Amino acid sequence: MKLMQRRMVITWAVAFIALVLAPLPVSAGDDTPTSVIERFHQDLLGVMKEADSLGVAGRYDQLTPSIRKAFDLNRMIRVATGGFWRKASPEQQADLLKAFERLSISTYAAQFDGFSGQVFKTVGEKPGPQKTVLVSTRIISPGGDPAKLTYVLKQTKGQWLIADVLLDDSISQLAVRRSEFRGVLKSRGVDGLLDVLKNKAAGLLAG
């Protein structure tokens, strides 16, 4: 009897240890910076492979949920417009976010318009300034030099989101946008910038 009880205790102990050590299911909130980028690249690659059949409008539709999920567009437009964002009315802020989102998605839909064997490679991640994480990647095209892209991610409400993209590990996409927007904002104000964003997006989607 004692031997049977001892075996039962051992069995329960093993089962308990296995339960404790078992890996927990990963939810969206458990995404790492690298997993956010790799999922976005996977979605982008899928669209590239169907680029011709989708057309620019179809690519836009396919990329919309992926970009909304991966990018912190709200933070990006706030940074890109600086003090003008704080002075804008709530209605203008909502319009700016909507126009910036449309331009961002249109840019990807227009630029990634085909597939010829490209491969997205994640090089690694490391801590960046101001509580960010930098994820280094390469776009490798057959017969061409790899394009270096570094994604800057920051946590927003517990989720890692892209806050900027660095070309060749140095050129900030957000800094370029801010420079472009600043000139328009100074000369034409928020409504003028809205017109520019809408016209640029329309031009990209028109092909």
Residue 60 to residue 96: CA distance in whole angstroms:
19
Q: Is 90 exceeded by the pLDDT of residue 100?
A: yes
The arrangement of strands across the sheet holding 119-127 comes to 119-127, 132-140, 147-156, 159-167, 171-172
CATH homologous superfamily of 30-120+173-206 equals phospholipid-binding protein (1.10.10.640)
Question: Backbone phi, then psi, for 166, in 5-degree steps?
Answer: -105, 125
What confidence category does residue 179 fall into, taking pLDDT thresholds of 50, 70 and 90? Answer: very high
Tens digit of pLDDT for each residue in 119-146? Answer: 999 999 999 999 999 999 999 999 889 9
Tens digit of pLDDT for each residue in 153-166? Answer: 999 999 999 999 99
What confidence category does residue 29 fall into, taking pLDDT thresholds of 50, 70 and 90? Answer: low
Assigned token pair, 174 = 């957000």
Could you tell me if 16 and 10 are in contact, meaning their C-beta atoms sit under 8 angstroms apart? no
Instruction: Provide the residue ranges of all domains of the chain, joining segments of one domain with +.
Output: 30-120+173-206
Could you tell me if 75 and 156 are in contact, meaning their C-beta atoms sit under 8 angstroms apart? yes
Assigned token pair, 111 = 């630029």
Residue 134 to residue 37: CA distance in whole angstroms:
11
